[in-house]
C-alpha cells in the first residue's frame, strides 16, 4: 500500500511493538514504518517514550538520524545533555553513547532512521559508566 493513514500517532497496518529485547529501558514502544530494500537499505522507525520513561543507554557503530515528532524531553549524545522538542533534529554519531528521556509530564516521540545492516548495541560496563559519570550533568541524566 502506497499510503498508510496516520491517526493518534499510529499508522495504518503498522503494529505497535516492544522497544527491544535486551537492555534496560522504561516505557518505550516501536513502530517500523519502512523496511527499505536493496536500493535503499534502511529501516525507518517511530519510537515513543512515555512520560518519565527512557530508552536504553547504548552505543554502536551505526548512525541514527532522529526527528522529534511529538512531545519533549532530553537526550544524551556523547557527553552532551540537550533539551529536545518537536521538530528538532538529533544526529547520533558512530560510537557515541546516547539515551533519550521523555519529560516527566509529556511523552517523547521520534522518527529514527538506521541502516538495514547494523551492529548490535553495546551497553556500558562499570568502566564506561565511571567515565560517563565524570561529568555531573551526565551522571545526573543517565539511567543505566
Ligand atoms: Mn541506538
User: Which whole number is the average pLDDT over 76-89?
Assistant: 98
Report field, pTM of the whole predicted structure over 0.75:
yes
Is residue 41, in this structure, part of any structural domain at all? yes
pLDDT in tens, 89-123: 999 999 999 999 999 999 999 999 999 999 999 99
The answer to whether residue 29 is domain-embedded is yes
Examine the residue annotation and report whether 75 is marked as an active-site residue of this protein.
no
pLDDT in the model for residue 70: 98
How many structural domains compose the chain? Answer: 1
pLDDT reported for residue 21: 67
**CATH number of the domain residue 119 falls in:** 2.60.120.10
Residue 130: inside a domain: yes
Q: What band does 72 get if pLDDT is binned at 50, 70 and 90?
A: very high
Q: Which of 13, 55, 28 is nearest to 144 (CA)?
A: 55
Mean pLDDT of 64-79: 98
Residue 115 maps to a domain: yes
Residue of 112, 114, 132, 138 marked catalytic: 112
| CB-count exposure of residue 94 (10 Å: 0-12, 13-18, 19+) | exposed
Domain assignment present for 1: no
Domain of residue 19: give its range: 6-141
Residue spans of alpha helices (H) in the chain:
126-132, 136-141
The three cell numbers locating residue 39: 536500493
Rounded distance from Cα 39 to ligand 1 centre (Å): 23
Amino acid at each position: 500500500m502506497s499510503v498508510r493513514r496516520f491517526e493518534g500517532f499510529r499508522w495504518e497496518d503498522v503494529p505497535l511493538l516492544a522497544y527491544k529485547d535486551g537492555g534496560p529501558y522504561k516505557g518505550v514502544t516501536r513502530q517500523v514504518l519502512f523496511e527499505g530494500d536493496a536500493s535503499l537499505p534502511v529501516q525507518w522507525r517511530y519510537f515513543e517514550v512515555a512520560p518519565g520513561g527512557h530508552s536504553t543507554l547504548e552505543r554502536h557503530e551505526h548512525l541514527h538520524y532522529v526527528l522529534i515528532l511529538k512531545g519533549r524531553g532530553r537526550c544524551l549524545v556523547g557527553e552532551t545533555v540537550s533539551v529536545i522538542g518537536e521538530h528538532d533534529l538529533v544526529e547520533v554519531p558512530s560510537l557515541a553513547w546516547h539515551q533519550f528521556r521523555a519529560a516527566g509530564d509529556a511523552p517523547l516521540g521520534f522518527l529514527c532512521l538506521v541502516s538495514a545492516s547494523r551492529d548490535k548495541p553495546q551497553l556500558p560496563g562499570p568502566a564506561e559508566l565511571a567515565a560517563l559519570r565524570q561529568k555531573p550533568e551526565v551522571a545526573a541524566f543517565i539511567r543505566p
